[in-house]
Amino acid sequence: MKKVVLIIGLCLATTVMFAQKAAVTSAERMAKDSRSNINDARNLIKGALENAETKGDAKTWYVAGQVEDAQFNRENTKQILGQKPNEPVMYDALGKALPFFLKAYELDQLPDAKSGKPKPKFDKSIKGVLAANHIYYINAGGYWFTEQDYQKAFNFFEQFLEIANLPFMAGTKAAARDSNFMIVQYYAAIVATQLNNPELAIKALKRAKDTPYEQNNIYQYLCGEYEQLKDSVNLEKTLEEGLRVFPDSSYYLFNLINMYIGSEKNEKAIEMLNSAISKNPSNPQLYQALGSVYERGKKDDDKAIANYEKAIELDPNSAIHQFNLGRIYYNWGVNKLNEVNQITDANLYNQGKAEVKALFQKARPLLEKSHQINPKDVECMIGLRSIYYNLDMGKELDEISAKIDSLY
């Protein structure tokens, strides 16, 4: 009785195996027939991909890739003929085909059961399909980028790069490190920054940063990701590297200066700025930054003033340069006023008040000039209001107060 059951079981297994192999053959035939229903072919091959007897066969996976490639080609043919393709359907099929072909190639390279050596049957065909379709992965990524589906856009850009990096594609046009390759690396990195996944974005950006295409943007995006992660160590390293690669970029220099000041590396900031000034002595921003280091970091107002004055000399129409210098005199005036208000001796008090007014008088034209250039700077207006009050300038006080009130 047991033998009969066993024989029946073997017959059933053989029947299922032959049924699945027949399904693979049918799906292959349907993929080649432009009149066939692709979904029917997909359903046929799906069973074979899941069946224990056929899922280890390279042909099963190869035909699965063929089915998706057939769907892609049907829509792409419309595009070639000037007709409107169904782009989501077209690109969905393109994206599904690659994993099938890769699995087919992997299985196709396994040693033959009889000879013990690989006897690949599909490698040339797979290479040909991937090479022919390679450029369309860029189109697919661009389409989904336009549709603001950044995950799909990223996936297609990654598939383009994956194909280019496949060892068996070496020597083909698809493996070329040409302009398309560089552009896709760039856009894959940029799209990755939209996925709210800093680690993924950093990986893609680091991959792209050594490619001579939009490197400056890549470095700045990379800095932004490290800043988002509050990774000050890697942010500082990337800013320093960016400055070496792009020594004329103010982005890296001034962000580094701010980091150095924040971490009390004032001497390093001063050294870097002096080096930059020696190369570009007519850049007012460098003097403004050096003045800021002396003011905020070293607490040396005299050297800060000298540098702010040089910045104004080079660029008198900069609101920030005027404001920075005016702010120092204004702060001196406020500090002096606080001291004077503690004096009880009348003569000393009057002498101190005169010194306060002199400091506010030095600050006034600088802040007025800054306000003239940038009339929306509230901090500057508040400073002017205090100056006008202490200098008994009633008309000017009313005017600036009205401007401030109108903002609230």
Q: Give the domain ranges of the chain.
A: 14-110, 250-315, 319-408
Query: How confident is the model over 345-374, as pLDDT tens digits?
Result: 999 999 999 999 999 999 999 999 999 999
Residue 4: the pLDDT is 44
Q: How far apart are CA 204 and CA 201, in angstroms?
A: 5
The two tokens of residue 242 are 């960016």
Contact present, 153 and 186 (Cβ < 8 Å):
no
Is the pLDDT score of 18 beyond 90? no
Q: How far apart are CA 185 and CA 178, in angstroms?
A: 11
Is the pLDDT score of 20 beyond 60? yes
106-134 average pLDDT score? 92
- Domain 250-315 belongs in CATH node 3.40.50.1700: no
Q: Do the domains 250-315 and 319-408 sit in the same CATH topology, yes or no?
A: yes
Hunting for tokens 């003033």 — which residue is that? 305
Query: Considering Cα of 174, then 176, then 180, then 184, what sign does the dihedral take?
Result: positive
58-69 average pLDDT score? 96
Average pLDDT, the chain: 92
Query: How confident is the model over 307-359, as pLDDT tens digits?
Result: 999 999 999 999 999 999 999 999 999 999 999 999 999 999 999 999 999 99
In 3-state terms the chain splits into helix, strand, coil percentages (rounded to 5) of 80, 0, 20
**CA distances from residue 64 to 17, 97, 127 in whole angstroms, order as listed:** 17, 7, 16
Residue 2: the pLDDT is 42
Q: How far apart are CA 334 and CA 383, in angstroms?
A: 10
The architecture in CATH of the region 319-408 reads: Alpha Horseshoe (1.25)
Lowest-confidence segment of 181-195, 217-231, 263-277 by average pLDDT: 263-277
| Residues 102, 177, 218, 192, Cα dihedral to 10° | -20
| 264 Cβ neighbours under 8 A, 6+ residues apart | 297
Is the pLDDT score of 167 beyond 80? yes
Q: Give the whole-number percent of the chain exceeding pLDDT 90.
A: 80
How would DSSP label each residue in 9-68? HHHHHHHHHHHHHHHHHHHHHHHH-TTS-HHHHHHHHHHHHHSTTTTT-HHHHHHHHHHH
Q: How confident is the model at residue 407 (pLDDT cuts 50, 70, 90)?
A: confident
Contact present, 153 and 141 (Cβ < 8 Å):
yes
Is the pLDDT score of 59 beyond 60? yes
How would DSSP label each residue in 256-314? HHHHHHHTT-HHHHHHHHHHHHHH-TT-HHHHHHHHHIIIIIS--HHHHHHHHHHHHHH
Is the pLDDT score of 205 beyond 50? yes
Note the Cα 371 to chain centre separation in Å.
36
Please indicate whether residue 22 or residue 377 has the higher confidence score (pLDDT). Answer: 377
Residue 42: the pLDDT is 94
Most confident of 77-81, 117-121, 128-132: 128-132
Is the pLDDT score of 8 beyond 70? no
Residue 3: the pLDDT is 45
Residue 112: the pLDDT is 83
> What is the value of pTM for the model shown?
0.78
The residue count for the chain: 408
